[in-house]
Amino acid sequence: MKLDRSKREFLRHIVSTVAYRGAKVIRNAPETFGDFKIGETTKTPLQILSHMGDLFAWALSQAEGNEIWEDSKTLDWNKESERFFNTIREFDEYLVSDKPFYAPADKLFQGPIADALTHVGQIAMLRRLADSPIKGENYFKAGVKIGHVSSEQEDPPYEFD
């Protein structure tokens, strides 16, 4: 399947948005935050972050035409953060390439990518509950740049409480 270049670029913008927002909620988390729990049956932030890495590995496997889901063994917070950004980078590199694309862009968005955005919001909420809130910002004005998918992101132009 050939995925139109404009759809690839739009997916790249969405993925860069996930990286920007993900970096914000991951950055400067307290040492004990990964194990924070609000109930017996809830996931910890660390488990959620691990799942987010799994989502982008799954998205890449779908794009490559070899869909594989794998629940990864959960690592520590720093290693999971690194893995999350590595899986985003690998997916973005595939989007840049001219390799065949075997998954519809809309399905990738509604599945793994939107799920990752949901989990970014969960981590943000858990940061607040763990008494380590992140500041809000006007994301319309955020410095999201296509292809900028690392943990190192621009400082927000304006944050609010």
pLDDT at 5: 87
Average pLDDT of the chain? 96
Q: How far is CA 71 from CA 2, 51, 94, 95, in A?
A: 29, 7, 22, 23
pLDDT class of 4 with cuts at 50, 70, 90: confident
Percentage of the residues of the chain whose pLDDT score is greater than 70:
99
pLDDT at 130: 97
Identify whether 92 is part of a domain. yes
Domain housing 14: 5-143
Percentage of the residues of the chain whose pLDDT score is greater than 90:
94
* Residue 5: partners with Cβ closer than 8 Å, 6 or more residues away: none
Domains contained in the chain, number: 1
**Digit-coded pLDDT (tens) for 75-103:** 999 999 999 999 999 999 999 999 999 99
**Which of 147, 153, 45 shows the shortest CA–CA distance to 90?**
147
Structure tokens that stand for 143 in this block: 């410095």
Identify whether 155 is part of a domain. no
Identify whether 152 is part of a domain. no
Identify whether 36 is part of a domain. yes
**Digit-coded pLDDT (tens) for 13-62:** 999 999 999 999 999 999 999 999 999 999 999 999 999 999 999 999 99
Annotate the chain with DSSP letters as a single string: -PPPHHHHHHHHHHHHHHHHHHHHHHTT--TTGGG--SSTTSPPHHHHHHHHHHHHHHHHHHHTT------PPP--HHHHHHHHHHHHHHHHHHHHS-S---S-HHHHIIIIIHHHHHHHHHHHHHHHHTT-PPPEE-GGGS---TT--SS--PPPS-EE-
For residue 11, the domain's CATH number is 1.20.120
pLDDT at 69: 98
- Predicted TM-score (pTM) of this structure: 0.95
**Is the pLDDT reported for residue 149 higher than 90?**
yes
Identify whether 33 is part of a domain. yes
